[in-house]
Structure 1
Amino acid sequence: MSQRKDIIIIGGGAAGFFAAINIAEKNPELSVAILERGKEGLQKVKISGGGRCNVTHAEFIPSELIQNYPRGEKELLGPFHTFMTGDTIAWFEERGIELKIEDDGRMFPVSNSSQTIIDCFLNEAKKHKVDVLYNYSVKSIKVRENDFLIETSQGILDCHKLVVATGSNPKIWNVLEDLGHTIVQPVPSLFTFDIKDKRIKDIPGVVAKDVEVNVVGTDLESEGPLLITHVGMSAPAILKLSAFGAVALAKLNYNFKIEVNFIRQDFEMCLEHLKGFKHEFAKKIIQNSNQFDVPKRLWKQLVLASEINETERWADINKNQLENLAAQLTRAIFQVTGKSTFKEEFVTAGGVDLKEVNFKTFESKRIPNLFFAGEVINVDAVTGGFNFQNAWTGAYIVSQSVV
């Protein structure tokens, strides 16, 4: 005997809870259930932003917001006109949760704790009588007449409307493929670069505030802060490159070269500045007089890599050494030999093909009454709260479309 619900949401994460709460609030007469495969849900919310939950990003113009989505940029423009950052802020404020904007645009609860968001979702789900079923791992989905039969580890459930909000879940992608959907094969997105290079080996923690990075031999490029880590490079300049280059870098098997411009000047301009420094700081030791706001520890390594020794003064260096230093500053080449997951926030590119989703409703074009929210479809974003904003937007539009 199957358990009957009007609407079932598969996935007890951010998108799943947001969709369920909005559906139940709008339609209290309907029975709504969330199926969560684990013993507790909202785990990605819990670890987001280092445990503070990066709820969204303070970008309030849809055409600007979409530029943070390597996959989904075109498709999300319409949805963001329906529900975006300001609506997210208002939704949480109506439930007693104030958000704050940090210097880089990321938004967090004032409490600085992801538990605030988790408690909000759990309380709202309880208030609106959403049935949250834990340890319900989905094995298969079958379409029977106008209903869905969902086989789970705890038995069979059926419903008239089904929402899939499982994020990047290969098992569910296989189930959806069996139903006739096309799945774009997942590849990692949002990762750091593994680099073994003596210039950065002994300076983990150094941040170059504003650099340009490009993948040699491709059109992939990005800009922003760059962090040197104990295994290579990270921070927005690298993470953006990994997100927008997710498919191309996977094809290169994460073995490629990057060119870094640490000062965002071209070689010739840099060289002219260095010639000026040669006269202006003639008696100073080069290694001790970092220029262009390059961090001291990084400057020292770039100077050494330019075949300038530790005691040489500006007045003493020759043309070749100046050119070497200009090259290190403006077009330093690093060999990438692999990738590492960015913190604990594993993001993938891949999922339900965007051509098979109606972005006015987030309903499947292949299977009536089947809806999607969040990263189960082939949408992903750079770091900074953008993946959550996609989840809130999709889940809200689903809640308005599903009944």
Structure 2
Amino acid sequence: MKIIVIGGGAAGFFTAINIAEKHPDYQVTILEKSNKLLQKVKVSGGGRCNVTNERNTPSELVQFYPRGQKKLHPLFKTFSTQDMANWLYNRGVETTAEEDHRVFPISNSSQTVIDCFLKLAESNNIQILKNHALVKLELSDSHWVVHTTQEAMNADKVVIATGSSPATWKILKETRLEMTAVVPSLFTFNIKDERIADLQGISFERAQVKIVSTKLVEEGPLLITHWGLSGPAILKLSSWGAYELEEKKYHFEILVNYLKVASDQSRQQFQEYRNLHPKRKVFNYPLFSLPRRFWERMVEYCGISDQIPFGELSKKQVNKLLEELTQGRYQVIGKSTFKEEFVTAGGIKLSEVSLKTFEAKRFPGLYLAGEVLDIDALTGGFNFQACWSAGWVISESV
């Protein structure tokens, strides 16, 4: 049996390795369009490789997939996040879960995972061909013909695991596979505003961000960057609102609550502090555990002198300051890719494959795994887990 896996990334390698381990007599080949392998694994988690997530209950896991969700429930029952951690452990890669449930190799290096995959590919006699970009896919009688930029090869079964690849989607559409529109999913918000200018690196433990005139609202850590705002709260919004924000051409308004409390609670806490310390200068005493530089900027922006004590603040000044901290309105004027971890929403429709096997319903012997499908997730190891689970199921199926 000859199996060709197209894509030298996470989904491609994991699928190929599991096929080869279960079927030593199969001839397994990985085709990669570039001269580099496992690039997304390399940059994941800032180079630490966020391999999966500690959450292990399928019903909880699916909540982190804006595209896929309930359809993925049986998949995660078949191969869970704990199964992946065990898979890595049994192959020499120990992992550890952090407080936010993200799972990393103990080495804190993505190279550990890359070395593991490359070693397993070699020990299982998997052939790896670089600079072999897919240009055409044909079903001829009982086998597939894979045309690349280098040669044409025959295969009994083909696995497409190229990730977010416009070229691959074009080829698959030519085979009459249906797909949904593809738009960016994980991205940060570009904002040019004096309130956050030159404050890059300042973060907030828990903020709430709402996109004006929509139902989109998220809570989580927030980070000021060179270009605007990022962090989990923003990334969750970008993922859930991928299509809605694309329609807005990434120009919209947001409301930001930088505090851990609601507006009414913040007013009460502010007044309590003011009553206790009426002579303290507002500029010198950041409230709500806010970073000092950010507090100073907000006080200045609200027209409050650095010499004014809490007790002398006018009602108008108090209202302005609390409004900026709990309902700050910002204009988003574009997006930026989140680090190098580019993720898209959209792809081949899940209705085109059997989710028990990930084989194309209308094209026997053709399997699809990873982001080539209309599956994407929030950050936290969830996108990788969808690759691992689908790859495992495919290896069982072939």
Q: Where do 4+ consecutive residues of structure 1 move more than 3 Å?
A: none
Aligned partner of 1:329 among 325, 331, 334: 325
What is the SS of the residue equivalent to 1:300?
helix
1:127 — aligned with what?
123
Q: CA deviation at 1:103?
A: 2.6
Moved more, 266-275 or 291-300: 266-275
2-structure distance, mates of 1:262, 1:325: 12
Could you list the per-position Cα deviations for residues 310-360 of structure 1 after superposition, in whole angstroms to 9, with x for gaps in the alignment? 221111111111111221121111111111111111111121012212111
2:254 — aligned with what?
258
1-structure distance, mates of 2:36, 2:269: 58
2-structure distance, mates of 1:208, 1:358: 43
Q: CA deviation at 1:373?
A: 0.9
Equivalent residue pairs, number: 398
Q: CA deviation at 1:147?
A: 1.5
2:199 — aligned with what?
203
2-structure distance, mates of 1:323, 1:269: 13
Match for 1:95: what amino acid? Answer: R
Q: Is the 8 A contact 1:180 1:366 kept in 2?
A: no
1:90 — aligned with what?
86
2:49 — aligned with what?
53
1:274 — aligned with what?
270
Q: CA deviation at 1:112?
A: 1.8
5 Å-filtered alignment, 1:377-396, equals 377-396=373-392
2-structure distance, mates of 1:40, 1:297: 42
1:289 — aligned with what?
285
Match for 1:93: what amino acid? Answer: Y
1-structure distance, mates of 2:306, 2:83: 56
Match for 1:353: what amino acid? Answer: K
1:76 — aligned with what?
72
What is the SS of the residue equivalent to 1:375?
helix
Q: CA deviation at 1:146?
A: 2.3
2-structure distance, mates of 1:30, 1:202: 57
Over the matched positions of the two proteins, sequence identity in percent amounts to 47
Q: CA deviation at 1:202?
A: 2.5
Q: CA deviation at 1:288?
A: 1.3
2:228 — aligned with what?
232
1-structure distance, mates of 2:207, 2:341: 24
1:36 — aligned with what?
32
Q: CA deviation at 1:185?
A: 2.2
What is the SS of the residue equivalent to 2:372?
coil
Q: CA deviation at 1:289?
A: 1.2
Matched, 1:187 2:146: no
Aligned partner of 2:314 among 314, 318, 326: 318
1-structure distance, mates of 2:380, 2:192: 27
Q: CA deviation at 1:256?
A: 0.5
5 Å-filtered alignment, 1:358-397, equals 358-397=354-393
2-structure distance, mates of 1:280, 1:352: 61
Match for 1:307: what amino acid? Answer: G
2-structure distance, mates of 1:398, 1:169: 20
- Normalised TM-score (structure 2): 0.97
Matched, 1:299 2:295: yes
What is the SS of the residue equivalent to 2:115?
helix
Match for 2:270: what amino acid? Answer: L
Matched, 1:153 2:168: no
What is the SS of the residue equivalent to 2:371?
coil
2-structure distance, mates of 1:401, 1:363: 8
2-structure distance, mates of 1:171, 1:204: 36
What is the SS of the residue equivalent to 2:19?
helix
Matched, 1:138 2:122: no
Match for 1:336: what amino acid? Answer: V
Q: Is the 8 A contact 1:47 1:53 kept in 2?
A: yes
Could you list the per-position Cα deviations for residues 360-386 of structure 1 after superposition, in whole angstroms to 9, with x for gaps in the alignment? 111112322211111110111111211
Q: CA deviation at 1:81?
A: 0.5
Could you list the per-position Cα deviations for residues 36-66 of structure 1 after superposition, in whole angstroms to 9, with x for gaps in the alignment? 1111311111121222211111111111111
Moved more, 84-93 or 262-271: 262-271
Moved more, 247-256 or 302-311: 302-311
Could you list the per-position Cα deviations for residues 11-34 of structure 1 after superposition, in whole angstroms to 9, with x for gaps in the alignment? 111111111111111111111111
Q: Is the 8 A contact 1:138 1:153 kept in 2?
A: yes
Moved more, 385-394 or 50-59: 50-59
Q: CA deviation at 1:161?
A: 1.2
User: Any unmatched runs of 5+ in structure 2?
Assistant: none
User: What is the RMSD computed on CA atoms of the aligned residues?
Assistant: 1.3
Match for 2:102: what amino acid? Answer: R
